[in-house]
């Protein structure tokens, strides 16, 4: 499984993501600058967290019109796996690859913590190594992770099984509707999530619960 880690001005989790993939058996990885437009050699495209373009206008808004994103859209249409983490999730929404919006956290503060995250969908290329209902411990670090959509869209997401991860009802740190913190597209080959699985792949990091996501993608690739 050959992975691209996209890099934008202001990306700051690209190295974490690169190293997480680098140490996976069965995976290789390269950085791709945001002006690149050739992603044909990659099986998986990873969009890391950070503060692309200083979060000017809205988080992810300027990165969403970078040259590479047009190619990402074509890759998504062809069925390649696309994963956006934190700011990467914001970019996917701004680019129209996922529905809804990510608003400022309900408390209007930056949140940096390790929190419980529930697996709401185990039937996807990103989550098949988990069991439905598993509660993971994953890091979050964001100021605009408050997912919102209208009631019609929410119902559609629930019916289609597009909600991949959610915060438990009793522990929703940013106010997201239905606790949503990980979202799939209808074809289930695009995932955006606010928690950072790349920071949770070794037990010495405090939790290795993010490893299952990367193992799921490898399993999907070799299937």
* Residue pLDDT, tens place only, 153-202: 999 999 999 999 999 999 999 999 999 999 999 999 999 999 999 999 99
Residue-level pLDDT at 223: 79
Question: Total structural domains in the chain?
Answer: 1
Q: Using an 8 Å Cβ cutoff, are 177 and 154 in contact?
A: yes
Q: Using an 8 Å Cβ cutoff, are 138 and 208 in contact?
A: no
**How many whole angstroms separate alpha carbon 23 and alpha carbon 34?**
24
Answer whether residue 88 shows pLDDT above 90. Answer: yes
pTM of this prediction? 0.97
User: Looking at 53-57, 129-133, 178-182, 211-215, which range is the least confident one?
Assistant: 53-57
Q: Using an 8 Å Cβ cutoff, are 130 and 164 in contact?
A: no
Tokens encoding 123: 């039937």
* Domain harbouring 81, CATH code: 3.40.50.880
For every residue of 101-116, DSSP letters joined together read EEEPPTTSS-EEEEEE
pLDDT tens sequence across 22-42: 989 999 999 999 999 899 999
Which residues form the domain of 203? 2-222
Residue-level pLDDT at 165: 98
Q: What are the catalytic residues?
A: 86, 196, 198
Spatial CB neighbours of 17, under 8 Å, sequence gap ≥ 6: 5, 46, 48, 85, 198
How many Cβ atoms from other residues are within 10 Å of residue 159's Cβ? 8
Answer whether residue 139 shows pLDDT above 90. Answer: yes
Percent of the chain with pLDDT over 70: 100
């Amino acid at each position: 499984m050959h992975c691209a880690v996209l890099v934008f001005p202001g990306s700051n989790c690209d190295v974490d993501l690169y190293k997480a993939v680098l140490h996976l058996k069965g995976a290789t990885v390269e950085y791709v600058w945001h002006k690149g437009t050739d992603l044909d050699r990659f099986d998986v495209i990873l969009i890391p967290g950070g503060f692309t373009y200083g979060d000017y206008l809205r988080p992810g808004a300027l990165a969403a019109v970078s040259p590479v994103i047009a190619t990402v859209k074509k890759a998504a249409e062809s069925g390649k796996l696309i994963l956006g983490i934190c700011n990467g999730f914001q970019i996917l929404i701004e680019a129209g690859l996922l529905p809804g919006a990510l608003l400022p956290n309900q408390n209007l503060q930056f949140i940096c913590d390790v929190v419980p995250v529930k697996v709401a969908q185990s039937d996807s290329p990103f989550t098949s190594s988990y069991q439905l209902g598993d509660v993971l411990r994953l890091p979050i670090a964001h100021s605009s992770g408050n997912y919102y959509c209208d009631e019609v869209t929410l119902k559609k997401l629930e019916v289609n099984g597009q909600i991949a991860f959610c915060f438990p009802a009793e522990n929703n740190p940013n106010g997201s509707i239905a606790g949503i913190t990980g979202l799939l597209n209808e074809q289930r080959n695009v995932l955006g999530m606010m928690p950072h699985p790349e920071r949770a792949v070794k037990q010495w990091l405090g939790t290795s619960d993010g490893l299952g996501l990367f193992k799921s993608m490898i399993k999907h690739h070799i299937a």
